[in-house]
Amino acid sequence: MAKPVTIPGELPETRPAGDFSAPAHLYWFEAGRDGGALYLPHLIDDASGVGTQVVAVDLNGDGRSDVVVANKKGAFVFLQTTN
């Protein structure tokens, strides 16, 4: 049986089904431990969303994972930077 996880901080409300007027947030979650599983959210983008297709891969060969998403809004590439 899966154990419950803790997500610290406040995440925006999820969008009601069919409501595409609300911001489409995209997060990555940093895994950790605090007596149990802990996932710390990091906002990547507040306009693209994730849709049904998402891939984390190093696109530019710099050794850091980048994120590619495709959904009804289009295709988006997020290159990880050092900042």
| Cβ pair 34, 10 in contact under 8 A | no
Amino acid at the residue 40? L
Please report whether residue 55 would count as binding Ca ion according to CB under 5 A.
Answer: no
Beta bridge partners of 56: 67
Smaller CB separation from Ca ion, 22 or 56: 56
Chain CA centroid to CA 53, Å: 12
With CB under 5 A as the contact rule, the residue among 7, 62, 73, 75 that binds Ca ion is 62
C-alpha span between 83 and 81 (Å, rounded): 6
Please report whether residue 30 would count as binding Ca ion according to CB under 5 A.
Answer: no
With CB under 5 A as the contact rule, the residue among 43, 53, 64, 73 that binds Ca ion is 64
Residues that bind Ca ion (CB under 5 A): 58, 60, 62, 64, 66
